[in-house]
Amino acid sequence: MGNRLSKIYTRTGDDGTTDLGNGERIDKTNIRIDVMGDLDELNSLIGVLGSSGVIDNVSSHLLDIQHRLFDIGGELAIPGSAVINSIHVDSLEKIIDTYNEDLPALKEFILPGGSLSASICHLARSVCRRAERNLVAISRNEYINPESLRYINRLSDLLFVLARVLNQEKGGKEIFWNSERLKRSF
């Protein structure tokens, strides 16, 4: 591959529009661009998470996820394209099942927090949910690869499970939502 980004600025977006991969120009406020930004933000958070001292097998999964997120961004940049498939979704489900196996059963909702890595993971999960909501919004009017929607949905589940795993690994304490405090405040 040659030098794809030999010049970083082009000035073509100064008018508030941007190019899609198919050459179509759209407004930068288009929801498609919002989702691409959500995915970029999520990818960045996962990069931070991977740099936060997680164990090697988690780090390896995170790197694979970063590539998949970039693939989904590519699908959005070229409307109608599909890269993500059921194998990618199945892979996330297997990872979830593997990690969830050793976690204690949940009896209360968990608040984000505990260790730094788990907190970053929870933040990534919330950004993932935003990306999912926006992807669903686009899919109501345009074709979006249904496997990408499934992938993003499973990814938020995986990030929740990983936050629990990272708290366990780092000695962070899970913070449970205290429903009893509601009774005391009235």
In a 3-state reduction of DSSP, which class is residue 89?
Answer: helix
Of the listed ranges 15-19, 29-33, 72-76, the one predicted with least confidence: 15-19
Mean pLDDT across 45-74: 94
- Hey, what amino acid is at 180? E
Assigned token pair, 80: 């109608």
Q: Above pLDDT 90, what percent of the chain? A: 61
pLDDT digits (tens, 9 = 90+) for 104-163: 888 888 889 888 999 999 999 999 999 999 999 999 999 999 999 999 999 999 999 999
Q: What is the pLDDT of residue 2?
A: 55
- Domain annotation covers residue 155: yes
Is residue 159, in this structure, part of any structural domain at all? Answer: yes
What pLDDT, on a 0 to 100 scale, did the predictor assign at position 67? 98
In a domain, 11, yes or no: no
So what's the pLDDT on residue 29?
75
Q: What's the pLDDT score for residue 97?
A: 97
CATH number at residue 109: 1.20.1200.10
The residue range of the domain holding 60 is: 17-184
CB 39 within 8 A of CB 72: yes
The answer as to whether 2 is a domain residue is: no
List, in order, residues 6 or more apart from 174 with CB less than 8 Å away.
Answer: 110, 114, 164, 167
- Looking at the structure of the chain, the number of domains it has is 1
Tokens of 2: 């040659």
5 falls within a domain: no
Please check whether residue 93 lies inside any domain of the structure. Answer: yes
Residue 7 in any domain: the answer is: no
Alpha-helical segments (H) within 78-145: 86-100, 116-139
pLDDT band of 177, cuts 50, 70, 90: confident
pLDDT in tens, 78-106: 999 999 999 999 999 999 999 999 998 88
Answer whether residue 3 is part of any domain.
Answer: no
